[in-house]
Amino acid sequence: MYRLLLLLMILMCSVKAHAQDLAQFLDSPQSAPLSEGVKAPVYGAARIGDIAPEFALPDSTGKIWSSREQLGQHAIVMVLIGEAPVLVGKETTPTSILASIAQAAERLQNQGVMPVVVSRATGINLSGINAQFDSLNLRDEKGALNRFYKASPTFLTVIGIDRAGFLRRIETARDASQVGAMMQQVGDTTPLLEEGKLAPDFSVVDMNGKVWRLSELRGHRNLVLTFFPKCFTGGCANHLSSLQNEQAKFLSSDTATLGVSVDPAEGDHGQLAFAQLQSITYPLIPDTGRNLSILYGAARKSYSTAWRRTMIIDKEGILRYIDKNVNVFTHGADTSARLHDLGITH
């Protein structure tokens, strides 16, 4: 009888915690969408694995096209045309080069990839070549994207951005006639999320302003990457506290922990206040743009709240385990046992 009562109490607490989380889903914070222009991330210069700049630019009809709206839906292949483009290649003309871009764009769209052409120069108009390309021909009057990517003013630059909004490829087409083929070669750059495979690389900034790059942990530290729905909820307090209880073991085995939610870092209900209240010593990632959550399958869209997920990544950068059934009360001990079973810790 005593065991039955104890089980019922645990079940009630769990239901209450999940109800608190659910009640907060309708008020999920998100970074304000960009109305127009280019918003560069905090990293500085472009680097593969960083979150790409968000941009909202007018198309050939004057309608604003937003990269934010593609998150979780489409990878982006972007062609940057500089101020003084040399639209001439081997035995080609400007018209044939633009036509090849439009043809490549149509093939990419059929593959679920969103192609866009961004230019400052006057007279660059793909709509005369392919009427369906109007909405993908964007104007960046201030040249902010070209400056961020250090794009050549004369050569064309091809950028690959994955479905989670991370920068994956930067290619310069010194022969303009090769741009169409290069666009198709870049294609969908979204990394696979699969146990036993290399974990998708990322660069994110934690609540204290420190940049974490997964590639820089390789050869040095394992990583427990845990996603939780929202700060200041009962379930998430238990979730993070259970991992906090295992920090001594994790640190002694070169294992870092990162907690990820869509909450902002600052504010009364932000991650800094929550970590202080719960005595959490490991970093939390304010994933307000949902980029990391989408990359690791913990969210699907730019306004989604993250599901509970935990990823175990070893020192070689291999994704060893995906936990989709997080028990908020025992997750720390469960993760510690899993690390041991995988041979990551002893």
For residue 166, give the nearest of 85, 271, 287, 265 by alpha carbon. 287
- Report CA dihedral (23, 276, 262, 21) to the nearest 10 degrees: -20
> What confidence category does residue 136 fall into, taking pLDDT thresholds of 50, 70 and 90?
confident
pLDDT digits (tens, 9 = 90+) for 54-91: 999 998 778 899 999 999 999 999 999 888 777 766 66
pLDDT in tens, 323-334: 999 999 999 999
Rounded to an integer, what distance in angstroms lies between the CA atom of residue 137 and that of residue 97? 15
pLDDT for the residue numbered 40: 82
Query: Confidence band (pLDDT; 50, 70, 90) for 345?
Result: confident
Across 33-42, 146-155, 177-186, 306-315, least confident range: 33-42
Predicted local distance difference test score (pLDDT) of residue 90? 63
Q: Which residues contact 220 (CB under 8 A, 6 or more apart)?
A: 254, 315
Dig out the tokens for 55 from the structure: 């941009």
Q: How many CA atoms lie within 13 Å of 323's alpha carbon, on the beta-carbon side?
A: 24
Tell me the C-alpha distance between 195 and 16, whole Å: 32
- The pLDDT of residue 71 is 95
- Per-residue pLDDT band for 18 (boundaries 50, 70, 90) equals very low
Distance from CA of residue 41 to its chain's centroid? Answer: 12
Residues forming a β-bridge with 313? 223, 319
Q: 227, 226, 229: which is closest to 21 by C-alpha?
A: 229
Of 183, 165, 110, the residue nearest 294 (C-alpha):
165
Question: Token pair for residue 35?
Answer: 């109305």
29: pLDDT strictly greater than 60:
no
CATH architecture of 193-341: 3-Layer(aba) Sandwich (3.40)
**Number of Cα atoms under 13 Å in the Cβ half of residue 220:** 7
Specify whether the backbone of 247 is left (phi greater than 0), alpha (psi in -120 to 50) or beta: alpha
In 10 A of CB 266, how many CB atoms?
12
- What pLDDT was estimated at residue 43? 72
Q: How far apart are CA 127 and CA 117, in angstroms?
A: 11
CA distances from 248 to 21, 244, 255, 256 (A): 28, 8, 10, 11
Instruction: Quick: pLDDT tens for 85-110.
Output: 777 666 667 777 888 888 899 899 99
Q: What pLDDT is stored for residue 127 in this prediction?
A: 52
Is the CB of residue 191 less than 8 Å from the CB of residue 78? no
Measure the CA–CA gap between 304 and 323, rounded to whole angstroms. 19
Give the separation between CA 79 and CA 88, rounded to whole angstroms: 16
* pLDDT more than 70, % of the chain: 84
Does residue 36 carry a pLDDT above 80? yes
Q: Using CA atoms, how far apart are residues 231 and 241, in angstroms rounded to an integer?
A: 12
| 32-41, 199-208, 225-234: range with lowest mean pLDDT | 32-41
Please report the DSSP string for 181-246 in residue order: HHHHHH---PPP--TTSBPPP-EEE-TTS-EEEHHHHTTT-EEEEEE-S-TT-HHHHHHHHHHHTT
Work out the angle at residue 264's Cα, subtended by the Cα atoms of residues 261 and 270, and round it to the nearest 5 degrees: 90
| pLDDT class of 341 with cuts at 50, 70, 90 | very high
What average pLDDT is seen over the chain?
A: 87
Structure tokens at 267: 């504010």
**Rounded percentage of the chain residues whose pLDDT exceeds 90:** 67
Q: What is the CATH number of domain 37-186?
A: 3.40.30.10
| Every domain range in the chain assigned CATH 3.40.30.10 | 37-186, 193-341
pLDDT tier at 30 (50, 70, 90 boundaries)?
Answer: low
Task: List the alpha helices (DSSP H) in 91-178.
Answer: 94-110, 144-148
